Amino acid sequence: MLKGKNIVLGVTGGIAVYKAVDIVSRLKKLGANINVIMTNSSTKFVTPLTFQSMSQNHVTVDMFEEPKQWEIEHISLASKADIFLIAPATANIIGKVANGIADDMLSTTIMATKARVVFAPAMNTNMYVNPIFKQNVEKLKSLGYEFISPASGRLACGDYGEGKLADPVDIVEYVVNIFNNNELEGKKVLITAGPTIEPLDPVRYMTNFSSGKMGYALAEEAKRRGGEVVLITGPTSLTPPSGVSVKKVNTTREMYKAIEDEFDTCDVLIKSAAPLDYRPESVSDQKIKKSDDDLCVRFVRNPDIVAHFGNIKKHQLVVGFAAETQNILENAKKKIKSKNLDFIVANDVTSENAGFRTDNNTATIINKNGEVKGLPNMSKADLSKVILDEIGSLLRR
């Protein structure tokens, strides 16, 4: 399953080091070639000889030890890696990388690699919830580094809570999925995100409550699966994923034009943005002054972006979103037909812990044949995986 794949495993100092031995064993049985880099502190828990025996490769600890072959080892391993996995990953190594510190063999090699880097954190609960640590994690995620969430339970120190190293089975499954989920390699994916705005005058505009979180999560996951991703985004406070081409727009017509410029050469369009359906018929070039009279504004229709591109598509897959407050399935099914979509993701934006401005969503996927797949409440990152699994399935057909 992993035959011919080169995985560099970084092992840092924590009681969970013993589980890393199991990770090496499982990856080795799947055919992977494993090179292990240990920090000095990790050798206090498990000896390098153990990892050498399991990986059948020399284990690197000291950056200045006599080289086994005539090459700069940290550069050699950095270039060799298909995946760079750090398990267990302490707060220390995560903090080092987040702040550009390279002062030992492991941190230096991580800084030098262009491979996908995956951290599997393990630490005391209080350390895991520390805002400084959380800030480091968010910084690294914004730069394209990946994280396998730790488990909750009784920790070695006796505390209960989040911070246990994820089960080795789950960590290995994550690595396997990285190599399996490459169905977007060679595919150009357009993703729209966020709201649009429509000005009334130089200081006021209309918009909606869309945060862009769903579209940004989709862009990150599509990039992770090998896609050439173009993120067309309305105004948000979010940081775009690393390695993604970004086009910033304001109005619905600007979003329409940005898609139009890319559509002929794309393979997939995911319309997760919430563009405004209407705009003021006229925009004042001066601030509209307050008066004793009511203000009446006439609105005109904006272009229906997803309907237009759904109905002119040739080879492309077009996926829409339906943010509804009532008659969710009925309205979504109408949109699939009228907009010629391959499938639609419908959700009730009034649901608790779902919809606009939240990190979670409760969605239903409906395909063009009317088949309905209800999903539980989940993070938008997890929902993006489900949506892209669906897209991958259609592409394979």
241 and 121 in a common domain: no
What domain range includes position 201?
188-284+292-396
> Which residue matches tokens 């550009």?
100
Crossing angle (nearest 10°) for helices 305-312 and 252-263: 20
- Asked if residue 219 has pLDDT above 50, the reply is yes
- In this prediction, residue 262 carries a pLDDT of 97
Residues 6 or more apart in contact with residue 128 via CB below 8 angstroms: 91, 121, 150, 161, 162, 163
pLDDT tens digit string along 308-365? Answer: 999 999 999 999 998 877 888 888 888 999 999 999 999 887 777 767 778 888 899 9
CB atoms near residue 61 (< 10 Å): 18
How many Å separate Cα 48 from the centre of its chain?
A: 34
Tell me, yes or no, whether 235 and 381 share the same domain: yes
pLDDT-above-90 percentage for the chain = 67
- Interior CA angle at 289 toward 284 and 293, to 5°? 105
Residues linked to residue 301 through DSSP beta bridges, in sequence order: 278
Parallel/antiparallel/unpaired status of strands 372-374 and 198-201: unpaired
Could you tell me if 100 and 192 lie in one domain? no
What is the per-residue DSSP string for 255-295? HHHHHHHHHTT-SEEEE--B--SEEESS--SSPPPP-SSPP
Give the pair of three-digit tokens for residue 58: 């020399």
Residues 208 and 140 in one domain: no
Q: How many domains does the chain have?
A: 2
Helix (H), strand (E) at residue 236:
none
| Residues 240, 158 within the same domain | no
Q: Which amino acid is at 81?
A: A
Query: What pTM value is reported for the model?
Result: 0.68
Q: Look-up: residue for tokens 């088949």?
A: 371
One domain for residues 174 and 271: no
Which CATH number goes with the domain that contains 173? 3.40.50.1950
Regarding whether 196 and 158 lie in a shared domain, the answer is: no
Q: Which residues are catalytically annotated?
A: 157
| Judgement on whether residues 112 and 223 belong to the same structural domain of the protein | no
Q: Which residues contact 369 (CB under 8 A, 6 or more apart)?
A: none
Asked if 42 and 15 count as a contact pair (C-beta separation under 8 A), the reply is: no
Tens-digit pLDDT profile for residues 55-111: 999 999 987 665 555 455 557 788 889 999 999 999 999 999 999 999 999 999 999
Which residues define the annotated binding site? Answer: 277, 287, 303-306, 321, 335, 339
Query: Do the domain assignments include residue 1?
Result: no
Distance in angstroms (rounded) separating the CA atoms of residues 189 and 219: 8
Contact 87, 100 (CB under 8 A): no
Q: Check whether 228 has a pLDDT greater than 50.
A: yes
pLDDT at 227: 92
Determine how many CB atoms are found less than 10 A away from the CB of residue 134.
11
Chain segment 160-206, per-residue pLDDT in tens: 778 889 999 999 988 988 887 778 989 999 999 999 999 999 999 99
Indicate if 256 and 133 belong to the same structural domain.
Answer: no
Confidence tier at 4 by pLDDT (50, 70, 90): confident
The reply to whether 168 and 274 lie within a common domain is no
Known binding-site residues for CTP equal: 277, 287, 303-306, 321, 335, 339
For residues 265 and 158, state if they share a domain: no
The CATH code of the domain that includes 309 is 3.40.50.10300
135/239 Cα distance (integer angstroms): 14
Least confident of 136-145, 148-157, 212-221, 377-386: 148-157
At 70 the pLDDT is 43
Instruction: Flag whether pLDDT at 38 surpasses 70.
Output: yes
Structure token pair of residue 120: 């599997």
Query: Rounded mean pLDDT of the chain?
Result: 90
Distance CA 378, CA 375 (A): 8
Check residue 100 and give left, alpha or beta (phi > 0: left; psi -120 to 50: alpha): left
Q: What is the pLDDT of residue 158?
A: 67
